[in-house]
Chains A and B, each alone.
Chain A
Amino acid sequence: MTQNLEKMPKGSFERITIDAEQSERISKPSMSFWQDAWLRLRKNKGAIVSIILFTLIVIMSFLGPIISPYEPNAQTITHANLPPKIPVIENLGILDGYGTLGGQKMDIYELKNVEVNYWFGTDGLGRDMFSRLWKGTQVSLFIAFVAAAIDMLIGVIYGGISGYFGGRVDDIMQRIVEILTGIPNLVVVILFILIMDPGIVAIIIALTITGWTGMSRVVRGQVLKYKNQEFVLASRTLGASDSHIIWKHLMPNVLGIIIINTMFTIPGAIFFEAFLSFIGLGLQAPDASLGTLINDGYKLLQFQPHILAFPAILLSLIMICFNLIGDGLRDALDPKMKD
Chain B
Amino acid sequence: MARYIGKRLIYMVLTLALIATFTFFLMKILPGSPISSASKLSPEQRAVVEARYGLNEPLPVQYFDYMFGLLKGDLGISINQFKGANVTDLILSRMGPSAQIGFQGMVLGTVIGVLLGMIAALRQNSWVDYSSTLVAIIGISIPSFVFASLLQYWFGLKLEWFPVALWKEGFMSSVLPSIALAMLPLATSARFIRTEMIEVLSSDYITLAKAKGASGFEIAFKHAFRNALIPLVTVLGPMAVGILTGSLVVEQIFAIPGIGEQFVKSIMVNDFSIIMGTTIFFSVFLIVVILIVDILYGIIDPRIRLSGGKN
Contact = CB atoms under 8 A, between A and B. Distances in A.
Interface of A: 178-179, 182-187, 190-192, 194-195, 267, 271, 274-275, 278-281, 294, 298, 301-302, 305, 308, 312, 315-316, 319-320, 322-324, 327
A184 B283 CA distance: 6
Interface in B237-281: 241, 244-245, 248-249, 252-253, 264, 267-268, 275, 279
Given A178-B11, A278-B249, A320-B138, A187 B282 contact: yes
A324 B133 CA distance: 11
Given A187-B283, A302-B157, A280 B264 contact: yes
A177 to B, nearest CB: 11
In terms of DSSP, what is the predominant structure of the interface of chain B? Answer: helix
Given A179-B18, A182-B287, A191-B279, A315 B252 contact: no
A316 B142 contact: yes
Contact of A267 (B23, B141, B267, B279): B141
For the complex of A and B, list the 5 residue pairs with the smallest distance between their C-beta atoms, beginning with the closest.
A182-B15, A319-B141, A320-B141, A312-B146, A184-B286
A294 B267 contact: no
A280 B268 contact: yes
Interface stretch (B26-34, B90-98, B224-232): B26-34
B142 A179 contact: no
A192 B275 CA distance: 12
B209 interface: no
B171 interface: no
Given A179-B11, A184-B283, A281-B267, A301 B153 contact: yes
A178 B157 CA distance: 46
A329 to B, nearest CB: 15
Contacts of B138: 316, 320
Interface of B: 11-12, 14-15, 18-19, 22-23, 26, 29-31, 137-138, 140-143, 145-146, 149-150, 152-153, 157, 241, 244-245, 248-249, 252-253, 264, 267-268, 275, 279, 282-283, 286-287
A186 B144 CA distance: 15
Contact of B145 (A185, A267, A278, A281): A278
B153 A275 contact: no
B59 to A, nearest CB: 16
Given A179-B18, A190-B267, 8 more contacts: A191-B26, A194-B30, A279-B267, A294-B145, A298-B149, A301-B149, A323-B140, A327-B137
B65 to A, nearest CB: 21
A186 B282 contact: yes
10 contacts: A179-B15, A183-B15, A184-B287, A186-B244, A195-B31, A271-B143, A275-B249, A294-B146, A315-B143, A319-B142
Contact of A182 (B12, B145, B153, B245): B12
Given A190-B267, A194-B26, A279-B248, A183 B146 contact: no
Nearest to B291: A182
Contacts of A194: 26, 30, 267, 275
A194 B253 CA distance: 21
Given A275-B143, A319-B141, A320-B141, A179 B14 contact: yes
Contacts of B157: 302
A195 B279 CA distance: 15
B145 A324 contact: no
Given A182-B287, A316-B146, A298 B253 contact: yes
A301 B146 CA distance: 11
Contact of B252 (A190, A267, A279, A320): A279
B143 A187 contact: no
Contacts of A190: 267, 279
Nearest to A178: B11
Given A194-B26, A279-B267, A298-B253, A183 B283 contact: yes
Contacts of B279: 187, 190-191
From A191, A192, A280, A316, name the one whose CB has the most chain B CB atoms within 10 angstroms.
A191
Contacts of B22: 183, 191
Nearest to A311: B146
Contacts of A185: 241
Given A194-B267, A195-B31, A312-B146, A275 B137 contact: no
Contacts of A308: 149
Contacts of B137: 320, 323-324, 327
B29 A195 contact: yes
A184 B152 CA distance: 29
A142 B30 CA distance: 27
B145 A275 contact: yes
